[in-house]
Amino acid sequence: VLNGTFAQKWPSWEKAIKLLSKGLVKTKPLISEVMPLEQWEEAFDKSSKGMGIKYLLTPLKK
């Protein structure tokens, strides 16, 4: 699931999805931390304080 912006038009999303699906974009450096969904408040707090770029919330416990 891609989420996080409303500023782009649909063709930009289509292009981004194609690049991601082909493995042409390295996303690992953009993810600051993987956290269980239960810790969403901590992730939002860290993000609002500028303590990372992106936090990946997963429904599975890490």
Query: Residue 1 pLDDT > 60, yes or no?
Result: no
d(CA 57, CA 38): 8
pTM, full prediction? 0.61
DSSP state of 5: -
Q: Is the pLDDT of residue 41 over 90?
A: yes
Model confidence at 22, pLDDT cuts 50, 70, 90, reads very high
Task: Give Rg (Cα) of the chain.
Answer: 13
Half-sphere exposure of 6 (CA within 13 A, CB side): 0
Quick: pLDDT tens for 10-20: 888 899 999 99
